[in-house]
């Protein structure tokens, strides 16, 4: 049977890839087409119609600058879907693109499931009606989303968070600390993980501020998780500073680091699931941030805080993101035992609320049943 996935970011690529892997166990004849990244290509043995490197735009201004590319991508994907004739279209996160795609696909008579809900609970609640009208099933990964959509009269399925699966699958494959240190030319000093994001704009806005703390903690080594979606030249200044950058080893870094300076996004939840005490950082473009602030109605930006509806982790956002503030928080994470232990205790509660492992398997079963009904 034929499945078409649309993912537009690194996290969507990972979660869609894990779902594909589980679908193959249920449907040995499964055939996939998709937009996505390296994980989906590896699992399917195929090339993406469009790689996420060509789809990853951040903020209102960046989207406007690249509107021509986005329109071309949309046209190309529509043509690819019509030629492929999938039994089911699975849209993964990436709401600016995928909500439009849901409407178009519905009009073509294509069955649509949506995985990882847009943040309609934060802003643009009118998008609930799009999901209600144009999608067959909505699968959510945050526990509070189920109640939100139920109040809107929608049938929604809480799958649990797929990161639990991704991490459980990877843990047995992680390099030992000794190998990780040796292969990357690291010292024996305890590590501070720095995750500045996977987008060019994130690196440009935040990395210098993050790395400004290095001289204040001479007893530690700072290790940056590099992104394969960016040109390696973005990290060259770090080499000149003697700071190591590792690629494809983010989970090892999270597992062995003492604390983390983490860009807001999926990596904040990953850090929590690895029991890595962290400070969450975010800085957007001035205009984009002002627009977002007017439109978005949430108390927190970090996933651990959003899920628990409590300030588990310190958030440094926009003007509060300074080297001085990162230093203050990092000092507490490293040297205040009570503060550190309280964060780790809250992480345990967070894991319990995320639904346990098996999200990808549960999702695959639902999707497979949908495809069987179509045929």
Section 28-48 average pLDDT: 96
More confident position, 48 or 53: 48
Measured over the CA atoms of residue 313, residue 220, residue 207 and residue 53, the dihedral's sign is negative
Residues 257 and 344 in one domain: yes
Predicted local distance difference test score (pLDDT) of residue 65: 58
In angstroms, the CA 253 to CA 358 distance is 24
Q: Residue 2 pairs with which residues in a beta bridge?
A: 31
Segment 219-236, tens digit of pLDDT:
999 999 998 878 888 888
Q: Residue 91 pairs with which residues in a beta bridge?
A: 6, 114
Whole-number mean pLDDT of the chain?
89
Residues 288 and 180 in one domain: yes
Residues 45 and 150 in one domain: yes
Section 301-308 average pLDDT: 92
Predicted local distance difference test score (pLDDT) of residue 66: 60
Residues 85 and 14 in one domain: yes
Do the beta carbons of residue 30 and residue 43 sit within 8 Å? Answer: no
Predicted local distance difference test score (pLDDT) of residue 199: 78
Question: Is the model's pLDDT at 120 over the cut of 80?
Answer: no
Predicted local distance difference test score (pLDDT) of residue 294: 44
Residues 277 and 363 in one domain: no
Residues 346 and 367 in one domain: no
Question: Is the model's pLDDT at 287 over the cut of 50?
Answer: no
Convert the chain into a string of H (helix), E (strand) and C (coil): CEEEEECCCHHHHHHHHHHHHHHHHHCCCCEEEEEECHHHHHHHCCCCCCEHHHCCCCHHHHHHHCHHHHHHHHHHHHHHHHHHCCCEEEEECCHHHHHHHHHHHHHCCCCEEEECCCCCCCCCCCHHHHHHHHCCEEEECCHHHHHHHHHCCCCEEECCCHHHHHHHHHHHHCCCHHHHHHHCCCCCCCEEEEECCCCHHHHHHHHHHHHCCHHHCCCCEEEEECCCCCCHHHHHHHHHCCCEEECCCHHHHHHHCCEEEEECCHHHHHHHHCCCCEEEEECCCHHHHHHHHHHCCCCCCCHHHHHHCCCCCCEEEHHHCCHHHHHHHHHHHHHCHHHHHHHHHHHHHHHHHCCCCCHHHHHHHHHHHHHHHHC
Instruction: Look at the chain and report how many structural domains it folds into.
Output: 2
**Please, which pLDDT band fits residue 169 given cuts at 50, 70 and 90?**
confident
Question: Is the model's pLDDT at 70 over the cut of 90?
Answer: no
Predicted local distance difference test score (pLDDT) of residue 62: 56
Predicted local distance difference test score (pLDDT) of residue 240: 80
Predicted local distance difference test score (pLDDT) of residue 123: 53
Whose tokens are 């996939």? That residue is 32
CATH number of the domain bearing residue 58: 3.40.50.2000
Section 171-188 average pLDDT: 96
> pTM here?
0.78
Residues 117 and 146 in one domain: yes
Segment 183-193, tens digit of pLDDT:
999 999 999 99
Residues 194 and 343 in one domain: yes
- Calculate the alpha carbon distances from 190 to 220, 235, 255, 258, 330 in Å: 5, 22, 12, 6, 13
121: domain range? 2-160+358-374
Section 336-349 average pLDDT: 97
Residues 193 and 332 in one domain: yes
Nearest to 261 by CA among 304, 206, 338: 206
Residues 265 and 146 in one domain: no
Residues 150 and 181 in one domain: no
Residues 304 and 367 in one domain: no
Question: Is the model's pLDDT at 293 over the cut of 90?
Answer: no
Predicted local distance difference test score (pLDDT) of residue 38: 94
């Amino acid at each position: 049977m034929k499945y078409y996935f649309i993912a537009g970011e690194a996290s969507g690529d990972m979660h869609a890839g894990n779902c594909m892997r589980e679908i193959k166990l249920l449907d040995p004849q499964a055939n996939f087409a998709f937009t996505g990244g390296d994980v989906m290509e590896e699992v399917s043995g195929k090339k993406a119609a469009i790689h996420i490197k060509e789809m990853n735009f951040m903020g209102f201004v960046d989207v406007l600058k690249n509107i021509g590319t986005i329109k071309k991508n949309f046209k190309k994907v529509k043509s690819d879907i019509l030629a492929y004739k999938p039994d089911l279209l699975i849209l993964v996160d990436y709401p600016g693109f995928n909500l439009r795609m849901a409407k178009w696909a519905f009009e073509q008579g294509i069955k649509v499931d949506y995985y990882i809900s847009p943040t309609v609970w934060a802003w643009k609640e009118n998008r609930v009606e799009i999901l209600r009208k144009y999608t067959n099933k909505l699968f959510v990964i945050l526990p509070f989303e189920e109640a939100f959509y139920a109040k809107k009269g929608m049938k929604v399925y809480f799958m649990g968070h797929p990161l639990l699966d991704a991490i459980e699958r990877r843990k047995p494959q992680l390099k030992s600390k000794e190998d990780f240190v040796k292969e990357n030319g690291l010292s024996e000093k305890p590590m501070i993980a720095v995750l500045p994001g996977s987008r060019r704009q994130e690196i440009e806005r935040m990395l210098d501020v993050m790395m400004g703390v290095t001289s204040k903690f001479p007893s530690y080594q700072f290790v940056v998780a590099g992104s394969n979606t960016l040109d390696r030249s973005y990290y060259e200044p770090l080499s000149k500073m003697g700071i190591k950058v590792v690629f494809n080893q983010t989970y090892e870094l999270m597992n062995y680091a003492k604390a983390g300076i983490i860009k807001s996004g999926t990596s904040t939840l990953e850090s929590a699931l690895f029991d890595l005490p962290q400070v969450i950082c975010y800085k957007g473009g001035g205009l984009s941030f002002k627009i977002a602030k007017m439109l978005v109605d949430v108390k927190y930006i970090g996933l651990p805080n959003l899920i628990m509806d409590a300030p588990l982790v310190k958030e440094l956002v926009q003007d509060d993101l300074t080297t001085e503030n990162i230093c203050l928080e990092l000092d507490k994470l490293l040297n205040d035992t009570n503060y550190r232990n309280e964060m780790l205790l809250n992480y345990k509660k967070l894991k319990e609320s995320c639904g346990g492992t098996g999200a990808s398997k549960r999702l695959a079963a639902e999707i497979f049943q949908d495809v069987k009904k179509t045929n």
